[in-house]
Amino acid sequence: MAGVNTRLRLRRLLGAAVRRTRRYLNEVATVGSDDPYARKFGHFGTGVALMAPQGVIYNERYLSIGDETLIGPNVCLTAGVSADQTMLTSPVVTIGKKCIIGRGSHIIGHWKIVLGDEIQTGPYVYITDQNHSYDDPNEPVGWQTPSEAAVSIGSGSWLGANVVILPGTVLGANTVVAAGAVVRGTFPDHVVLGGVPARVLRHYSAEHGWRSGAPGP
């Protein structure tokens, strides 16, 4: 029994030490605007925190992050498919001021993705401006030329956990997207979206306040 108690105490002490070390390392590895790595970005605003551990990040010169934005742990930010690729637009990915990007999210740009100011996302949100095409039925989908369409997300919006934003999506200001929704299309300001594919569940009218369904013509 004494041996068991000793092993339990040792495990607890070692566990506490590992957790303290992990917290310290993550704090040290968080990237701020004063860190040399921040200079690799096309724009890295003041007060930005790129929290550790970081996800896959490359082609930083095509990425723009606005002031006081918080990028959560394990977030992937990429432009193109390789670190040395020359892109046709710059910046490819723009994240506005005072945004919060939830842990494990992916923002994968090839042409143009623009997030406005004060946008928040839940964890594991996926945003991309490129998709596979399948026009040729005799060619494997993965080898066909992908299609691209710019993405824009209006300021003040909230994207719930596991939301997928597909190429060509345009969201208005202060949009709410329910968890798990798959979004494609153009939507006005002040709506709630949900479902697969996403549709307008509620909208705001200055005359009537919040109403069910999509706004009228």
Contact 30, 44 (CB under 8 A): no
Helix (H) or strand (E) segment spanning residue 56: none
Reply yes or no on whether 132 is catalytic.
Answer: yes
Considering the candidates 132, 190, 203, 208, report the single residue annotated as catalytic: 132
- Report the amino acid identity of residue 190: H
Token pair, residue 97, equals 């001021």
Cβ proximity of 192 and 213 under 8 Å: no
Looking at 66-196, which runs of residues are DSSP E strands? 70-71, 76-79, 93-95, 100-101, 106-109, 113-115, 120-121, 126-128, 130-131, 147-148, 151-153, 158-159, 164-165, 170-171, 176-177, 182-183, 191-194
Let me know: does 198 contact 170? Beta carbons within 8 Å: no
Tell me the catalytic residues: 132
